[in-house]
Amino acid sequence: MNHFYDTSLPPNLRALKEEIEGYAREYGLDFFETIFEVVDPDDLNEIAAYGGFPTRYPHWSFGMAYEELRKGYDYGLSKIYEMVINNDPCYAYLMRSNHEVDQKLVMAHVYGHCDFFKNNAYFAHTNRKMMDEMANHGARIRRYVEKYGEDEVEAFLDRCMSIDDLIDVHSTAIRRRQSSSRYDFSDKEDDESEIKLTRFKSKDYMDDYINPPQLLKAEQEEQRRIKEEIARKFPERPEKDVLLFLIEHAPLKPWQRDILSIIRDEAYYFAPQAQTKIMNEGWASYWHSTIMTQKVMKPSEVIDYADHHSGTMATYGARLNPYKLGIELFRDIEHRWNTGKFGKEYEECDDLEKRRNWNKDLGLGRQKIFEVRRIHNDITFIETFLTEDFCREHKLFSYAFQDEYGEYVIESRAFQQIKQRLLFNLTNFGKPWIYVIDGNYGNRGELLLYHQFNGVELQLDWAADTLANIQNLWGRPVHLKTVVDNEATLLSYDGSEHKTQTLGDDDEVESNASA
């Protein structure tokens, strides 16, 4: 932002905001207070490059994102219509140069997002004061830059941001470990040193017969050996939150540990948006479509609205449009629950004509989509509500690259294959599952990671870069057990050289990691 100007809503947009907000609440949407700011296109591109937080910490990657957005806008290739932040209050940005019909559409779309942020279960753990928290993060990192130098802090930020997806997105809902209180001063060493032996009740004169001393001694030695083995090996069970493991155990300086914690906190804040992209955009699109067509659109605005809405919903090439898939699935759910096209009776009906004309006039559609919005993420949304009829109606298909033709071709129109491919791409955001399984590998203080193989091999150059960045944080050699060319393989980096070792049958790891 090169100069200061008033970003508050002008009178005409303020009136539209109050009108659209009233309609949204009439429909049952429930959202935090929403603050709209009107900014110039260049400033909106800058805000978007920072992920919606203009006070975020400085980093060159945000500058690259800004250049991409700016050139896309200048060349007429792309345009940001809306930007809304999950916060209390919610902040939303309008582009000053947009026409009034666009501003209406964006406001209605924003209220859909704000309702989703507040009510969807996967956003429940997020910090609702993230605008302030991001400013705090930025101030801390700028202070470290002044104290330790821009080059050193930026290089460390590069490494942390390159592994910011090595978190456990489900840990917010599943307790993976027992939390210990900072005020628990009990002597854990004494408690852990007590070894309880298997001793049966008996009379004194029968004790040596029922509880033979040699067996008790052997059991005691075995339990001691197991305790020592557990003490040497950590973590006790595979740890998917690699960033947390590094924060707790890597030999980092206090400022480095703080920066890594900042990156991890922000990764958990943004994770639900990736988990619910299809649902969130579909829900917002459903409501902007409903409010615009039923309430606020003037006859003279129909053509412009149809043009911009269809552009948002367009699907082309190999790109899956989350707006289109989301809105159509919500409409399909609403229609099915209004007409009763669900349940055992409908599923077991073999008469195609009867299924096509099925209508029990239940009127439960609107209630159902609000329930879906509250409890699902993209994976459960697709798993539960994507049907064969839906795929057939919308002409969905799966595609794959064919070496013979050197291009992507339609692979299948079979429902199960389409659904499986969708779910596979959505699981863990299409990224590999990586676990820490040993922080003292080989009893040398080295770090051993495990890739839970699911049929797709790692991209080896990316894996090598990731190992190098983790090794820089860990300070000792880092290893990754994975599968390369269908063989168990150990990738290693010791700080100077990358090594690849094919493992034999005796060396293969049996994963007890669970998502």
The pairs formed by 7-12 with CB atoms below 8 angstroms and a separation of 24 or more are 7/37, 7/38, 7/39, 8/37, 8/38, 9/36, 9/37, 9/38, 9/94, 10/38, 12/100
| Angle between helices 322-339 and 277-291 in degrees, nearest 10 | 70
- Residue listed under structure tokens 């070894």: 195
pLDDT of residue 192: 46
Total tally of structural domains belonging to the chain: 2
DSSP 259-305: HHHHHHHHHHHHHHHHHTHHHHHHHHHHHHHHHIIIII--GGGHHHH
Examine residue 457 and state whether it is found in any structural domain, yes or no: no
74 and 125 Cβ atoms separated by less than 8 Å: no
363 and 284 in one domain? Answer: no
Distance CA 332, CA 368 (A): 11
pLDDT of residue 251: 95
Highest mean pLDDT among 12-21, 343-352, 495-504: 12-21
pLDDT of residue 514: 40
367 and 281 in one domain? Answer: no
Tokens of 86: 């999950």
Question: Model confidence over 363-389: pLDDT tens digits?
Answer: 999 999 999 999 999 999 999 999 998
Beta bridge partners of 478: 447, 493
Examine residue 35 and state whether it is found in any structural domain, yes or no: yes
Question: Model confidence over 222-242: pLDDT tens digits?
Answer: 888 777 666 666 788 899 999
Task: Look at residues 134, 111, 133, 113 and name the one whose alpha carbon lies nearest to residue 123.
Answer: 113
- Residue listed under structure tokens 């790692």: 458
Lowest mean pLDDT among 85-99, 107-121, 228-242: 228-242
329 and 313 Cβ atoms separated by less than 8 Å: no
Distance CA 72, CA 41 (A): 11
Tokens of 505: 């049958």
pLDDT reading at 408 higher than 80 = no
Examine residue 282 and state whether it is found in any structural domain, yes or no: yes
Examine residue 159 and state whether it is found in any structural domain, yes or no: no
280 and 375 in one domain? Answer: no
Say what the pTM is.
0.86
Neighbours of 292 (CB within 10 A): 22
392 and 288 in one domain? Answer: no
Lowest mean pLDDT among 183-187, 401-405, 414-418: 183-187
344 and 292 in one domain? Answer: no
pLDDT of residue 229: 66
The pairs formed by 300-304 with CB atoms below 8 angstroms and a separation of 24 or more are 301/100, 301/101, 301/104, 304/99, 304/101, 304/102
416 and 318 in one domain? Answer: yes
288 and 380 in one domain? Answer: no
Residue 238 backbone phi and psi in degrees, to 5: -55, 135
pLDDT of residue 332: 96
Q: Of 426, 459, 480, which closes a domain?
A: 426
Examine residue 176 and state whether it is found in any structural domain, yes or no: no
* CB contact set of 25 (below 8 Å; sequence gap of 6+): none
Distance CA 148, CA 156 (A): 11
15 and 88 in one domain? Answer: yes
Lowest mean pLDDT among 25-29, 198-202, 227-231, 507-511: 507-511
pLDDT of residue 497: 94
User: Where does the pLDDT of residue 191 fall: very low under 50, low under 70, confident under 90, or very high at 90 and above?
Assistant: very low
Q: In whole numbers, what is the pLDDT of the chain averaged over residues?
A: 89
pLDDT of residue 264: 96
Assign 196 to helix, strand or coil: coil
339 and 283 in one domain? Answer: no
User: Where does the pLDDT of residue 190 fall: very low under 50, low under 70, confident under 90, or very high at 90 and above?
Assistant: very low
Examine residue 328 and state whether it is found in any structural domain, yes or no: yes
319 and 379 in one domain? Answer: yes
437 and 509 Cβ atoms separated by less than 8 Å: yes
Examine residue 127 and state whether it is found in any structural domain, yes or no: no
User: Where does the pLDDT of residue 171 fall: very low under 50, low under 70, confident under 90, or very high at 90 and above?
Assistant: confident
Interior angle at CA 69, CA 65 and CA 73, nearest 5: 170
Q: Of 411, 426, 441, which closes a domain?
A: 426
Distance CA 63, CA 49 (A): 7
pLDDT of residue 432: 92
Residue 310 backbone phi and psi in degrees, to 5: -65, -35
Lowest mean pLDDT among 63-77, 217-231, 314-328, 493-507: 217-231
88 and 62 in one domain? Answer: yes
> ω into residue 235 within 30 of 0, thus cis?
yes
Lowest mean pLDDT among 74-88, 310-324, 340-354: 310-324
Lowest mean pLDDT among 94-98, 161-165, 504-508: 504-508
pLDDT reading at 282 higher than 80 = yes
Tokens of 356: 């096509």
Examine residue 52 and state whether it is found in any structural domain, yes or no: yes
Per the structure, the complete domain to which residue 90 belongs is given by 11-120+276-296
pLDDT reading at 2 higher than 70 = no
User: Where does the pLDDT of residue 92 fall: very low under 50, low under 70, confident under 90, or very high at 90 and above?
Assistant: very high
374 and 336 in one domain? Answer: yes
Q: Of 426, 455, 479, which closes a domain?
A: 426
User: Where does the pLDDT of residue 318 fall: very low under 50, low under 70, confident under 90, or very high at 90 and above?
Assistant: low
What percent of the chain is predicted at pLDDT more than 90? Answer: 67
